[in-house]
Structure formats: structure tokens, C-alpha cells
Structure 1
Amino acid sequence: MFLQSIHNYRAIAIIAIVMSHSYIYGFDDTAGYFSVIKNILTGGTALFVFISGYMFHHIFYKRYQYKKFMKGKFERIIVPYLILTSLAIPLVYVIKSGFFAADADYYRVVFFSPDDSAFATTIKYYLTGRMLTAYWYIPFAILLFLVSPIHFKFIELSRRTQMIIIALFSVISIFLHRSYENINPIQMLIYFTPFYLAGIYISIYREEINKNCGIKSLSLLLVAITLAFIQYIQGHEGSYSKSVLEYAGIDIMFIQKMFLSIGLYFLLENFIFKTKLTDLISDTSFAIFFIHPWVLTTIKRLPFLDHPESTNIPYYLVTCFVVIALSVLIAVALNKLLTGKVKSRYIIGY
């Protein structure tokens, strides 16, 4: 069954992700309430993972077959990742950027090493997705899909057991934090699992949970905003990251994003709307994810653009609009141009 609310949620999630990757274009050096807004926008991946969990139960559970499930993910996500990564890595090598650069920053990045050969660096790029913004998500997502039989079993557990598991994994994530530079897919899998399970849980008990959506959304979103403000007061901006065995306190961002993801769900269930623009962004969300890093890196290197060093909200918002618009246009164009045996979903997931 098609859910307009979840369709709208996907559009909002990908917009948040693009906006969080565009900070250097006028929203990087911020203070005050702008920092609170950045804490809300940053970490939009949690929203995407929440939706994925929700849809795993809503769409795949009743007809779940591991091979068929993985085949679909392979075609729409893994193949585009391999193709686009195979284009990106040679470019990074040619321009001597990233970990191919002579002055590469290896600080706290335990996986990459200055002693790595070009071949070793290439393999590590495939394994981590660190050659382009946001591509770290795919190695993590592959692991998430590979353990889908565990998620299937989770659905069949008692409600009480499900709640205990979500709570225990949440505690682990709060102290685990994200990996530095999102470099460790296994750490990211553990960290984001509670969002995926929470999505599954809410889908299972949708009818009961959806009562009083308005009050629930207001309460949860107020808590999320309050936590974002607390982060600002503590002098923290953005996600918390560390190595696996390092202790660095409580990850307030995780708690904030859990309240935000569920609060946003209730808000969109309470105010269901339909627009052509929202539907288009949602339909092309996977493609936007794959394409927007290419658009951003192109904009960064345009010689005729002088990017602001201080806060410039109009410039930032225009940049975000341009990045999303170009990503959608490229996705639609490729979808129209590529037909027959070569389909656009094998390249951009759409």
C-alpha cells in the first residue's frame, strides 16, 4: 500500500541530507540560532535509515525472500555505487586529491595509511566510499541489507522484546558514536541500527501508534529542538564521532535524531499533503543521493564563483536549490535517455 506520508518523508530526508552537505557555501561559519538549525539538519541519514526500516516491514516483510531482496538492492544501489565509484576514484587520483594527495590528512583515520599503495587506497575507497561526499552510506547500507534475515526475525518477536532490543541498541549507539569521517561501515551499522528497528516497530504497530499524531509530533519535535539547543550551549555542532574503543561521553545527536525522526513521522502522518514537486523529489531521492556529490564538487571547482567565507544565508539557500534542481534534472534526463538493456537505475538508482 502506497503511503503519501512516507513518500513526503523521503523527500524531506533527502533535502536535509543535501543541505547538510552544502554548508561550505555560506553556512559553514555559524553561531547562535544558526548553529541550532545546523544541529537539526546534520545527521539526516538517520531519517533515511528510519524510513528504510519502516519500508522493510511495510513493503518487503510479507513477500520477503532473501535472494530476491538482495537482487533488488544489488540492481538499484550496489551497481550504481560500483559504477559511480569506478568513475570517481580515477578522477581523485588524477587530481591528486583525498588520500592520493601528498599532504593527505590521516589524522584519526585508522583505515587509510600514508604507506598505502595507489592500489590499496583504491580498494579502501571501494570499501568505505570516502572518495565522494555521502558515499560512505552505501557500504553501510550493504551491511544493513546483508543482515536483513535478522530484521525479519525481529519482526516476529514479541512487542516487549522488540522494545528491549531497540532500547539496548540505543544505549550502545549513544556511547559508541559514529566513526570518524564515517570510515567504519561496521561501526555505522551498529550506530544506525536503532533507527532502522524503530522504523520497523512503528510500521508493525502503525494503526495503534498513529493515534493523537498531532500531540505526539509537537512533543517529540520540541524535545529534538531542545536537544539541538543543548548541543549548541555545550559548544558542540554536528555529529559526534570517535573510534570504537574510545570513550567520549553521551552522543546527544543520536538522541536528538531519534526524537526528530519519530516526531517528523507523526507530523507527516497528521498533515498529509501531495504536491508534484515533493513527489518528484521523493521519486528521484536515490538518484539525488548519488548525483548531488558530483554537482557539489563541480560547483566547488568553478573558477568564476567566489564562495563566501562567512555566513551568507541567501547564497547557501540558492546553492541548495541549485544542487537539488540539477540533481533532479540529471536524474530525469538520464531516465529518459537510457532505455532498453541499459537502464538509468543501474547507474543512478532511478
Structure 2
Amino acid sequence: MNFLQGCIVFLGYIHSFRALAILFIVAGHSIDFFIWSEQYEALERLLRILISHGASGLFVFIAGYLFQHLAAKYQTKKYFASKLKNVLLPYFLVSIPAIIIFIFFIHRETVWQGFYDNPQWLQVVYFYLTGLHLAPFWFIPMMTLFYLMGPILIRADKNKFFYWILPVAILISCYFGRGLPYQSFVHFFSVYLLGMFCSHYKVTVNRILVIPSVLTLLTGVFLFLTVLEFYYVKGTMIFVNYLHKITLCLFFLGLLIKLGKKLDYKLIRVIADTSFGVFFIHSYVLTGSKMLITKLSGEKTVGNLLLYPLVVIAVLMSCVGIIVIIQKMLGSKSRYLVGS
């Protein structure tokens, strides 16, 4: 899905942010490509803190930013039609193989108890409504709730007092974790709202975020939260990690604005252009590669600091290549299949 289509002003730094966000998504899910020995237990935990849990917040932030950026051209019917064709239709189609596998051949371990006691047609409905059939797909049912909220958010954006709720929304997100789509919607609402806020006040926000001392401060907060979570907090899906990721959103926004055209490379543009398609297929590529390597070697791959980045790059670029081929074969219709 090309979020930047029809923009009033092309935002190069947000386009680069999309490439960075999909890198985080692929890198986060690549951690589970490996088994991690005790020797690399600390590395695995650090990777999950820095990259994995909450990385979807980067995409949510970008979505909120671009939603507000395009608010002046918002038309409800066109907006819903676009989301139906470019998000929900690809979600429906790309989900089919996984749903067939997890209903007729293998039982998914991540579903709730009693899930498979339901009729098969209802299992299909539940998979589509929750996105539990593939690790990243919980994101689409959650984002659908944001799409449905579009008309309300457009009206709220015009109210000068609307963004005063942001601190309260952040506080709620800290203590209301992810789960079913409505729970994830509540958890990530403040991130989406933060993206809208940064876009609404972009003239002021951009000027502040590029100040070296502000970037340094955000780096310090990021490192403090990383150390705090690594040494003093059990688990990773907690409020410290949430604050860690929204700090990262602001840091990356400021850094990418500051770097500007220095990031204008064809590779970054291609990754950004195909990012939503990569989101849809990377789980298939990761799982297929993992199964193939395990079958050929006879054992699971043990993670380390060398293999991990190689897998991340290989999976990302393989997905980009697949999406580019699909785009060349189907042209503009490719977005109906893979969202890009």
C-alpha cells in the first residue's frame, strides 16, 4: 500500500521512516528464526527489547502521521474504498494459505483454549477477525478499527483542544497491553495520536526535533529505558518497552528530518515503496526458510551475532525482490494482492 499517494506535499523523511519501520518488523520476527543457547541468552533478550516487541508502534506512528497529513483531502467514501482495496483485500487473499494450513493440517498454538472446538467456518472467521493465523497479522484487524475511527479523528483534529488528551492516552497505553484487536487498538491509540500530533504541528515539532541537544536527550532516554528494562524489569511487553518505542519514534523522526536528502538512495526508496507488501509476505518467507534449513541440516539453527543480521537482510531483500516481481507482473493491480 502506498501511503504517500495523493499527498499534498511528499514527505521524504516519512518515506524513509517506512523503510526503517519494515526493517524493524522483519528484524523483530527474525529473532524467532533461531534457537538461542545460554551463551547468547543476553543477546536474545537485548534484541527483543531493542527491536522486537513494540516495533509495530513505528508503523502505527507513521500511519497516524500520514492520516493527519492527508486530512485536508479526506473523503470518507474514498478513504474506506482505498482501505478496502489496498489493505483488507490483500489481507484476505494473503491469509488464505495460512488459514488453510492452521485449520486442516496444523493446530496453531497461539489461539485460545477451545478455539478448535468451533466449526471450521467459524475458525476461519475468528482467524480473520483476530489475525492470529500469522504472527504479524494481528496488526490488520487492529488498524481496521483506526480506519473506522477515521471520520471521528478527522473532526477531532480540527478541534484545538483535541491533542490535550495525548498525555492521558499515553498513560492508558502504559497500563493497557496488547491482545485482541480492540485491546491492541486501545494500547496503540496514543502512538497513532502522537503521529497525528507531530504532523498537525509539524512546523514546530520538526524544528524542535532536529536540534542536536534534543536528539541527544532522546538518545539518553532511549538508552536509560533500555538499561532499565534489561536489568530491572522482567518480560518485554510492558510499559517501559512502550515508552522505549515512542521515544524511538520521536528520535527517528528528528534524525530522518535532519538527514533529509542524504538518505535519498534508490534502495531505501524501493524498500519504502514495497514495505507494506513485505509486511504481508515476510512471515511466509521466514517460516519457509526456517523449515527448509532445518530439513536440510537436520537441526534448528542456533542464533548468534553473525547469523542474525544475515538472516534479517536476506529475508528483507528476498521479500522486496518478490514484491518487485509481482509489481512488474501485475502493474497497479499488485496492490490488490500484496498491498504494494
Structure 2 length-normalised TM: 0.89
Q: Give the unaligned 5+ runs of structure 2.
A: 1-8
Mapping 1:1-350, distance limit 5 Å: 1-26=9-34, 28=36, 30-32=40-42, 35-42=45-52, 43-58=54-69, 60-98=70-108, 104=109, 109=112, 113-158=115-160, 161-179=161-179, 184-212=180-208, 213=210, 214-240=212-238, 251-272=239-260, 273-302=263-292, 303-305=295-297, 310-339=302-331, 343-350=333-340
Q: Deviations over 1:37-91 (max 9, x none)?
A: 4312122110111011110111x20111111111111111100001111232112
Structure 1 position 34, deviation (Å): 5.5
Structure 1 position 209, deviation (Å): 1.5
Aligned mates of 1:113, 1:290 — CA distance in 2: 24
Is contact 1:36–1:229 with CA below 8 Å preserved after alignment?
no
Aligned mates of 1:84, 1:335 — CA distance in 2: 15
Q: Deviations over 1:232-277 (max 9, x none)?
A: 112434323xxxxxxxxxx111111111111111111111221111
Structure 1 position 196, deviation (Å): 0.7
Is contact 2:85–2:336 with CA below 8 Å preserved after alignment?
yes
Partner AA of 1:57 in structure 2: Q
Structure 1 position 307, deviation (Å): 6.1
Structure 1 position 148, deviation (Å): 0.7
Deviates more, 1:115-124 or 1:66-75: 115-124
Q: What is the RMSD computed on CA atoms of the aligned residues?
A: 2.0
Secondary structure of the residue aligned to 2:136 is coil
Structure 1 position 187, deviation (Å): 0.6
Structure 1 length-normalised TM: 0.87
Q: Deviations over 1:305-324 (max 9, x none)?
A: 46656441221111111111
Pick closer, same or farther for the CA change 1:97–1:301 going to 2, 3 Å. Answer: farther
Is contact 1:39–1:237 with CA below 8 Å preserved after alignment?
no
Secondary structure of the residue aligned to 1:271 is helix
Q: Deviations over 1:271-303 (max 9, x none)?
A: 122111111100000000001011011112111
Pick closer, same or farther for the CA change 1:76–1:116 going to 2, 3 Å. Answer: same
Pick closer, same or farther for the CA change 1:115–1:25 going to 2, 3 Å. Answer: closer
Aligned mates of 1:310, 1:234 — CA distance in 2: 27
Is contact 1:38–1:237 with CA below 8 Å preserved after alignment?
no
Q: Sequence identity of aligned pairs in percent?
A: 29
Secondary structure of the residue aligned to 1:220 is helix
Aligned mates of 1:291, 1:207 — CA distance in 2: 36
Q: Give the unaligned 5+ runs of structure 1.
A: 99-103, 241-250
Deviates more, 1:214-223 or 1:39-48: 214-223
Secondary structure of the residue aligned to 2:135 is coil
Partner AA of 2:192 in structure 1: Y
Partner AA of 1:321 in structure 2: I
Aligned mates of 1:267, 1:231 — CA distance in 2: 24
Partner residue, 1:248: none
Secondary structure of the residue aligned to 2:306 is helix
Structure 1 position 28, deviation (Å): 4.5
Partner AA of 2:245 in structure 1: K
Partner AA of 2:310 in structure 1: V
Structure 1 position 94, deviation (Å): 3.5
Structure 1 position 167, deviation (Å): 1.0
Is contact 1:26–1:309 with CA below 8 Å preserved after alignment?
yes
